[in-house]
Structure 1
Amino acid sequence: MRYMSPMGFKKRLSSNGMNSTTNGEVWVERSAHLENRVMKLQVRSPPGEQAGTETSGTTVIWAMTEMMRNPSVLAKAQAEVRETFKGKETFDEDVIEELKYLKQVVKETLRLHPPLALLVPRECREETNINGYTIPLKTRVMVNVWAMGRDPEYWEDVESFMLERFEQSSVDFMGNNFELLPFGSGRRMCPGVTFGSINVHLPFYHFNWKLPD
């Protein structure tokens, strides 16, 4: 077995007069000169590849949106990024760790706008009991992280974009604090968990942003 790029494979099929679906699934019919056999081949891109890039892009877009709504936040975040990376030709993780203010921006963005409102469904492998509730075998569990990020029991003024809530807080989005789980928790959490926070600084370093008049 070897990894095959769905897009590249699709192009090769088209060049040979074969058809494929647009969802990454390919059904290949071998022609008569290939021993008259019919082979069904399903090609999918790795789930982590799509999840990582899409969640990262969503985080960047929402962070930009919220900061353009709050010009003072945008100016401060941009100043921090440009001062931190001033004179540096490359960006590494150690330097990114110095962006304390931008980290607050990312946390608050993910609280209000998690990449997915509902995490990927989970299914119970066996019947279990949690806090007096019986969970039958094969029960599908949906976690509403959008609602968790706006729960007034844990967050004040839930609809407001307030970075102050994270100034003296150790809460993060790495799956250890259940009030903020935009990427899930545990070994099956979203692989894009680190991508969003790493990529957000790039648009501020290179461009100036503002809403149209």
Structure 2
Amino acid sequence: MSIKEKALALTTPVTALPGRYRPHRQGPGVPRPSVTVIQKLVLEPIAEPRTGPTPYSSCVPVDQYVYFALSSHVTTAAEMTAVLGLEPDETVVRGSRIPEPKAIPVLHRWKIVCREPGLSVDEQIARVLERLAPHAAGIAAVARRLDAEDPRGPSAVLEIVRYFNDETGPRGHVLGDATAEAPDLFGWHLGRDILDFLHLTGAVLDVDEYDLTQDCADDGSGS
């Protein structure tokens, strides 16, 4: 048993309680009354001691991906590709879903993406940057041009998107279990090379994280 709870009731007849009970009548032939004392012992629930990391019943599923994007209200993804000489993985055409009165999507987008499951955010960023690094100077030039077209910029962004408790996603460590064989998908950091690339291209870092726990999904909450 991990939690024990016992109650012990003891009934003890006592013929005399020194200092506490004195009969009114004493002497030969006068029986001494007996006093019954009820003693009750209750043991509070006590959790058994734990050793090692705090165990959890299951891992937390995490689905995540990373992309670098150039965006514009005016310049199309095809025009960006012609300048950069690098084919994007995905493109978005402004107004392709709803052209008027308010265009949806609101921007043209050129994107290099890593959606490979089972990789940490660090590894996904590294995959994206590996492809972008040879074109860094050209990307910086295009980003400056796009920023000049639209002062609402910046036009360049490194985007990280994460979904927690997504049952379709891969599972990371059991929380608190550093010895688990599953990859650690929770923590991440940006190395100096990534910061240098963001600085060169004038890109911003944007992180979107969503909790898809059923209770949160039902009431519309999340992060």
- What band does the TM-score fall into relative to the shorter chain? under 0.3
What TM-score do you get using the length of structure 2 for normalisation?
0.20
Structure with greater strand share of residues:
2
Structure with greater helix share of residues:
1
Decide which structure has the larger Cα Rg and report it: 2
